[in-house]
Amino acid sequence: MSEELIQIETPFAFNEENQREFDELIGRYPIKEAAMLPTLHLAQRQAGYITPAVMKYVAEQLEVTVMKVKDVVTFYPMFFEEPVGEYVIRVCHTLPCALRDCKVVLDHLKAKLDTDIASETNLAKGTTADGKFTLMKVECLASCDVAPVIMVNDDLYKNLTPEKVDELLAKLAS
Amino acid sequence: MIKKIEERRILYEHLDVPDINTFDVFRQYDGYTRFEKAIAEYQPDDIAKMVMDSGLKGRGGAGFSTGLKWSFVPKDIKPCYLCCNADESEPGTFSNRYVLEKNPHLLIEGILICCYAMGIETTYIYIRGEFTLGKKMLDAAIKEAYEKGYLGKDIRGTGLNVDIYSHPGAGAYICGEETGLIESLEGKRGQPRNKPPFPAVEGVFMKPTVVQNVETLCNLPFIVGNGVEWYTQMGPTYADTRSDPPTPDPNTGTKLYCISGDVNEPGVYELDLGLTCTELIEVAGGLRGEEVKAVIPGGSSAPILTHYELDTRLDFTSLTLAKSMLGSGGIIVMNETRNIVDCLLNIMKFYAHESCGQCTPCRWGTPWVRDIVQRIADGNGRKDTITRPKFGVAENGRWGDTGETEDIYEDLDLLESVANNIANVDTMTWNTICVFGIAVSWPAVSYLRKFRPEFEAAIREGKLVTLPVAEATVPPEENYAYQQRFIPKEFADL
C-alpha cells in the first residue's frame, strides 16, 4: 500500500533531450491536445510505463484535464499502466500467423520463459519473475508474408521457429 | 495454355535498390522529377483533373474514386489538411510497410503532388505505432527532404509551402478508419465520427481534410510522370450498365497484392488489377497443399471466396459483384487442411478485441459472436432435434406420419442473427457509426453460409471436424450467399 502511494507521488518531468523533442512536437499542431499520442510515447519511453504522475504531467503540458489523458491511455493497447519487463515480447496471433503455426512459437515462449500471457488489465501475469520479459499476444503486425512474427520492443523477428526463438532468447538474456 | 503472368512493378520498381531510402539514390531513379514536372507544366486544377481521368481508386479499402474525393473539398476554406493513412492494421495486409521502410521518398513525392493540386500546406502521416523501423526511415527521409529544399517554405522557388509530420498511432485497429484516424490525430480516443460531415468538408481540427492511403499517394508521381493514357491502359475498365448510357467504371492501375497463408512464396506482388484468384496463387509460387479450400480476397473483413469462385477477378468492381470486396488487397489463402470454424474464431477474436466500444451493437455484438463461435469450436454448439410431421408411406407400409426428424442448429441461426444485427449484410445497412460493423458481420455471415456443412459437423460431432473441400461448402446454385459472378466479355480473354 505504502509503496503504491510513493509511486503515485513521485513526480515526473521530461529530461532535457525529451523536453527538446516535446518542444518540437508541440509546434506541429494547431492545438496542443493533438500532440497527445507522440507525447505519451515519449513519456512512456522515459518512465517505462504511464504512471498517474506521468498522466498529470502530460495533462499540464498539453493543457487538458488529467481525465482526458487517462481516457486516451486506456484506449490504446500500446500504453502500459503497469510496469513491464525490460523486453516486451509481442506475439502476433491473427489469422495469417495462425495459419503458419504461431501457436507453436507462443507455447514455446511460454514454456521457455515460464510465464503466462499478459492480458491488457494484468500485465504482471505475463512478466517473468526477474522482470526481464513480458509476454503478450497482439493482433496483426502487418508482416504476414514472413509469418509467424514477434516483436521484441522495437524490433521485428520473422519466420520464427522454436529453434530461432531459443537463439533469440539466448541473445537477449546475455 | 496458361499464360505466364509477370509482375508489373511500378510502385515497387526500385524497392530493392540499395539505399533507395536516401535522397541521392532516389534522385538517380527519377526521384522528385515528377513533382518538378507537376509544378513546371501543370496548374493545380490540371493535376486534379488528371487524377480524376486516371480513374485512380483509393487503395485503402473502400475503393472510392480519388479524383471524386478531391472534388468534394471546398476551395475557399483554408487551411486544408492532408492525412496520409499509414495505419496498416488489416490482417493480411503489409504492402505499406515496405514502402515506408524502403522507399519513403516516393511517398513524400506523392504527398507533394497532392498538396500542390489541393493547395495544402500541412500533411500528417498517421503511422502505425508498431512500425518503428518504418517511422525511423520516414522521419529520416522527411528530414533529408527539408534539407534539400523539397519541403518547407517556398519549395524550389515556387512559393509553395509544404510541411510533413509523422504522427505515431498506438496500436488501435479502428484508427485506420478515416474519421477514427482524425479523432486519434486530434489526441483523443480513436472513435469514428458520424458522417456527414465528411472529412473532405470538416475533418481534422474542423477543417477540410483529404485522407489518403499510402499506396494511393504513391500512385500520383507515376500518373503525373507518365500521363493518364499510360495509366489507364493498365487494368480493366468496365461499363456500369445501371445508368443509361452506361458509365465507365475504371479499375485502372496496378495493385500491391499482399498474399499470405498457404502459398509457397507469400509476399507483395504488384500486378495489374483484374487478374483472377487462380492466377494470383500461381504468381505466388503456387498453393502449399493439395487443394484450395477458401480465399479471403481483401483483408480479414472481406467475405470469403470458396473454391467455386477462384475465377473471380481481383478488382474493385468484380469483387463487389461477387458480394465481396478487394479492400486493402490482403489475400489469405487456405488449403484443404484448414478448418473454417477455427479460422472464423481467430478473426472474431480479432474484431472483439478491436471494437472501439462506441456503439452498442458492435461493443456487445462482437464478443457475443466470438463466444458463439468459441462454443461451436469447443464442441458445445447448441443443437435440437425435432420431429417434423411429414405425411407419406410410414414404416408399417400404410399412409401416415413418417415421423421424420430434422436437426435445428440453434447456434448457427443465433450467430447469423447477432452478426446481421450489428450490420445487415443483405440490405447493407448497419446499426453502427462506422463500417467496422459490416467488417465483422461480413466474415461471420459469409463463412457460415458458404461453409455451413463444416459448422453443422462441428456441432453434430461435438468437436472441430475438417471436411474435405468438396463437402465443406455448398455449390453456388444451392446457396443464396453467392451472387452471379460478373466477367465482362471484352476482357474474358485478357
Burial class (CB in 10 A: 0-12, 13-18, 19+), A48: middle
DSSP code for B322:
T
C-alpha cell of residue B201: 468538408
Q: In a 10 Å sphere around its CB, with 0-12 CB exposed, 13-18 middle and 19+ buried, how is residue A11 labelled?
A: exposed
- Per CB-CB distance under 8 Å, the chain B contacts of A40 are 170
Are both B49 and B144 inside the same structural domain?
Answer: yes
Whether B459 shows a pLDDT value over 50: the answer reads: yes
Cα of first residue to Cα of last residue in chain B, in angstroms, is 13
Above 50 in pLDDT, residue B1? no
- Hey, is B237 helix, strand or coil? strand
- Name the residue among B132, B168, B177, B136 with its Cα closest to residue A40: B168
Instruction: For chain A, give the longest Cα–Cα distance.
Output: 50
The pLDDT assigned to B484 comes to 44
Same domain, yes or no: B210 and B62:
yes
Average pLDDT across chain B, whole number: 90
Out of B97-101, B115-119, B166-170, B487-491, pick the least confident. B487-491
Contact (Cβ atoms closer than 8 angstroms) between residue B455 and residue B196: no
Number of separate domains in chain B: 3
Give the pLDDT confidence of A115-142 residue by residue, as tens digits: 999 988 889 999 999 999 999 999 999 9
Considering the domain architecture, whether residues B360 and B286 belong to the same structural domain is answered as: no
pLDDT-based confidence at residue B237 (cuts at 50, 70, 90): confident
H/E run at residue B163 = strand B160-168
- Tell me, what's the pLDDT at B239? 82
pLDDT of residue B389: 73
Task: Examine residue A12 and state whether it is found in any structural domain, yes or no.
Answer: yes
Q: pLDDT per residue over B348-395, tens digit each?
A: 999 999 999 999 999 999 999 999 999 999 999 998 887 777 777 877
Q: How many domains does chain A have?
A: 2
Cβ-defined contact of A94 to B167 (cutoff 8 Å): no
Do B187 and B263 belong to one domain? no
| CB nearest A139 (choices: B188, B189, B353) | B353
Domain-embedded: residue A92: yes
pLDDT band at A9 (very low <50, low <70, confident <90, very high): low
* Residue B482 forms part of a structural domain: no
Which H or E element spans position A38? helix A36-47
Q: With beta carbons less than 8 A apart as the criterion, state whether B324 and B298 touch.
A: yes
What is the pTM for the complete model shown? 0.92
Nearest-CA neighbor of A44 among A59, A60, A55?
A: A55
- Where residue B351 sits, what CATH number does that domain have? 1.20.1440.230
Q: Given B185, B268, B347, which is nearest A95 (Cβ)? A: B347
Question: Are B113 and B207 part of one and the same domain?
Answer: yes
Q: Quick check: A142 and B89 CB within 8 A?
A: yes
**How far does the CA of residue B113 sit from the closest CA of chain A (Å)?**
21
B85 and B125 part of one domain? yes
Checking if the pLDDT of A3 tops 90, the result is no
- B95 plus B209 within the same structural domain: yes
- What pLDDT is attached to residue A77? 92
Q: Tell whether A21 is covered by a domain.
A: yes
Q: B188 and chain A: CB distance < 8 Å anywhere?
A: yes
Smallest Cβ–Cβ distance between B168 and the set A38, A62, A138 belongs to A38
Of A66-75, B2-11, B12-21, which range is least confident?
Answer: B2-11
Average pLDDT estimate for B325-340: 93
At residue B427 the predicted structure's pLDDT band, cuts being 50, 70 and 90, is confident
- Partners of residue B338 in chain A, C-beta under 8 Å: 99
Mean of per-residue pLDDT scores for chain A: 91
Asked if the structure places residue A81 within a domain, the reply is no
For residue B51, which of B196, B212, B220 has the smallest C-alpha distance? B220
pLDDT value for B490: 44
Would you state the pLDDT for residue A120?
Answer: 83
pLDDT digits (tens, 9 = 90+) for A96-122: 999 999 999 999 999 999 999 998 888
Domain membership of residue B9 (yes or no) is no
The CATH number that applies at residue B258 is 3.10.20.600
- A138 interaction partners in chain B (CB closer than 8 Å): 130, 171
Ranking B18-32, B47-61, B286-300, B470-484 by mean pLDDT, the lowest is: B470-484
pLDDT at position B44, please? 93
In one letter, which amino acid is A1? M
Residue B492 has pLDDT above 50, yes or no: no
Q: Does B436 touch chain A (CB under 8 A)?
A: no
Picking from B455, B313, B442, the residue whose alpha carbon sits closest to that of residue B376 is: B455
Q: Is residue B175 part of a domain?
A: yes
Q: What is the CATH number of the domain that holds A101?
A: 3.40.30.10
Q: A96, A70 in Cβ contact below 8 A? A: no
Question: Which residues form the domain of A12?
Answer: 3-75
Same domain, B57 and B119: yes
A40-44, B170-174, B193-197, B241-245: range with lowest mean pLDDT: B241-245
Of residues A2 and B71, the one with the higher pLDDT is: B71
Instruction: Tell me whether residue A109 is in a domain.
Output: yes
Q: Check residue B401 and give its pLDDT.
A: 79
Residues 153-172 of B with CB under 8 A from A: 163, 165, 167-172
**With contact defined as beta carbons under 8 Å apart, do B128 and A78 qualify?**
no
Contact: A96, B332; criterion CB under 8 Å: yes
A82 found inside a domain: no
Nearest to B171 among A77, A98, A147 (CB): A77
Question: Is B260–A140 a contact, with Cβ atoms under 8 angstroms apart?
Answer: no
Interface ipTM: 0.92
Q: Are residues B317 and B422 in the same domain?
A: no
User: Looking at the domain assignment, is residue A44 inside a domain?
Assistant: yes
Q: Is residue B206 part of a domain?
A: yes
* DSSP label at residue B297: -
Among B292, B317, B338, identify where a domain stops. B338
Question: Would the pLDDT of B244 be above 90?
Answer: no
Share of chain B above pLDDT 70, in %: 96
- For residues B179 and B193, what is the distance between their CA atoms, to the nearest angstrom? 5
Q: Which domain holds residue B280?
A: 247-338
CB-CB under 8 Å, B260 with A37: no
Asked whether residue B126 is domain-assigned, the answer is yes
Q: Determine the distance in angstroms separating the CA of A20 from the nearest CA of chain B, rounded to an integer.
A: 16
**What is the pLDDT at residue A7?**
53
